[in-house]
Structure 1
Amino acid sequence: MASLDVEFLFSHVPILPRIEIILNNVYRHPKLPPPTITENIIKNLLFACTTEAPFRSLTGQVYLQVEGVAMGSSLGCGFVDFFMCKLENTVLRDPDVKPFINCSYVEDIFIAIRSEPHLRDLKKAMETASVIHSSNELNIHNKIPFLDVLIHFQDNTYKTIVFRKKTDTRRCMNAASRCPQRYKLSAIQEYPRRAHRNCSSWEFFHIEVSRVKQILINNSFSYFIVDKETRVFITCTITQHEQNNTSSAHNLL
């Protein structure tokens, strides 16, 4: 297992190639019809929104970002997604380069490869086909963090649990803070929701829930309310799971 992290993806990739990729997918898609607005109008709008958007520096000077997309721009994620999809579709056509597993989230990519030379070949192919550069990380003892998930390959199975960096301070919204009660309840509810989403088994889920209960209690939440909200989430999740299984069984019949 390994991961690739594309560096400066928003700011370093030229605008015009990205716009051409978008136009080709929108107006020359093999299955979807083009929009009613003309291609030239869309091209001019995309160009204006990316190269003619001013911003002010801390010193008061006004600049135009002539290359790349500004961080926080509403167009940023769309531009990056089109670019990365085009790049991956081009590079991964080569069976000698294509990894066994390729999962990407914007500029972060999780891959399963044969060896370190395979990783180097993949990285070189992606950099040769574009202007990007990336850093990489290999698994240690069959474990590797990817975003907020720790992936463990064991017994020919991928197991996952919530990942926390060593710099994590175990702090969250404090129950004594002056904010609406619904925000505090949301802070509690998100922890078991994330545990259920990221953990591959109920065993890992309960390990993570025990950990976050202590975090919440350390941040002044009462054990009663934490336990109550956790139980409500588990009950609702199990009920929903049983309803889905029942519905699937009826569909089969």
Structure 2
Amino acid sequence: MDVESLFSHVPINETINFICNRLYRSDEIQFPIPEDILCQLLQACTKEVPFYRPDKNMYVQIDGVAMGSPLGVLFANFYMGSTEEMIFTQHYELKPSIYTRYIDDIFISADTEDSLSQITEMFKENSSPNYTHEIEIERKLPFLDTVVHRGTDSFSTEVYVKPTNLGFCLNGASECPERYRRSVINSFVKRALTHCSTWTATNAVLKRISQLSNNGYKKEEIYDVIRGRLDTFMAQETRVDNHATINLYYKNDMSSAYKQNEKMAE
């Protein structure tokens, strides 16, 4: 599910109320700034910020948050989080088995398409932005930079390449420092290692990276970066898998009850 134009549709006053309710109506949080002062500060940073448009006139933001604003992501996340909490609390039967969100992109695992349509309509009715949804095709669905494959009892992922991607990147013959060229290769390899959940998918991406030689990169340089990245990755995997964590308990003074303390530490 996708939230259309989330930042420009975030209701400022409503979101500020959400923030204040969470900070000042909770027994778990003791916020040091008085509520009225915080509300004034949030209002000043969102609704009193002037900006110029191409017509050379100055305007003031009325509603919504600017994507470049330091508070933009905070407000967008707070508004969506509060909306989700309200909807799934009041309509618990609609809550899907999997619901994850990154800003305005939402990944849902629903039992039926009708269930997904009901969730989408519920969000439309209870919040300002519009929502659209996309259904998997042949058990595959693009989400952020990955393609998610739905198996019988698990999911797997691989790097997502848009159909319109022509493979343009910094030319290897460009007049630029060597570290720039290597960083291009490095970023592709890193994405393969972080986004692919199987070695089959990783190998397919690494083979595609080797085609950078068609864009002026030397094959020796490509393979050197790939080997270096793989060596580092495998070394980290080995350290994590083969070495258990040992907690060492330290006491800076010795008492007569040290044996009892040692037993408690064990």
The two structures share one fold, judged by TM-score above 0.5:
yes
Structure 2 counterparts to residues 41-190 of structure 1, below 5 A: 41-93=37-89, 94-190=91-187
* Aligned counterpart, 1:209: 206
Distance 2:167 2:87 in 1: 41
The partner residue of 2:229 within 225, 233, 237 is: 233
State the shift of 1:71 in Å. Answer: 2.1
State the shift of 1:250 in Å. Answer: 5.4
* Aligned counterpart, 1:22: 19
Distance 1:108 1:144 in 2: 13
SS in 2 for 1:109: strand
State the shift of 1:88 in Å. Answer: 1.2
Distance 1:164 1:105 in 2: 19
SS in 2 for 1:111: strand
State the shift of 1:192 in Å. Answer: 1.3
Structure 1 residues 30 and 232: CA distance shift in structure 2, 3 A: farther
State the shift of 1:132 in Å. Answer: 2.1
Distance 1:177 1:21 in 2: 51
Question: Percent same amino acid at aligned positions?
Answer: 35
Q: Which amino acid aligns with 1:74?
A: P
* Aligned counterpart, 1:194: 191
Distance 2:221 2:72 in 1: 40
State the shift of 1:249 in Å. Answer: 6.4
Distance 2:57 2:125 in 1: 36
The partner residue of 2:3 within 3, 6, 27 is: 6
Structure number with higher relative contact order (C-alpha < 8 Å, ≥ 6 residues apart)? 1
SS in 2 for 1:212: helix
RMSD: 1.7
Q: Indicate the structure (1 or 2) with the bigger Cα radius of gyration.
A: 2
SS in 2 for 1:96: helix
TM-score by length of 2: 0.88
Structure 1 residues 246 and 33: CA distance shift in structure 2, 3 A: farther
Distance 1:217 1:249 in 2: 43
Distance 1:191 1:58 in 2: 37
Distance 2:133 2:69 in 1: 27
Distance 1:133 1:162 in 2: 28
Q: Which moved more, 1:22-31 or 1:51-60?
A: 22-31
Structure 1 residues 132 and 178: CA distance shift in structure 2, 3 A: same
Structure 1 residues 204 and 250: CA distance shift in structure 2, 3 A: farther
State the shift of 1:26 in Å. Answer: 2.6
SS in 1 for 2:70: coil
Distance 1:248 1:91 in 2: 42
Paired positions, count? 247
Q: Which amino acid aligns with 1:157?
A: S
Distance 1:209 1:82 in 2: 38
2:208 pairs with 1:220: no
State the shift of 1:183 in Å. Answer: 2.4
SS in 1 for 2:107: strand
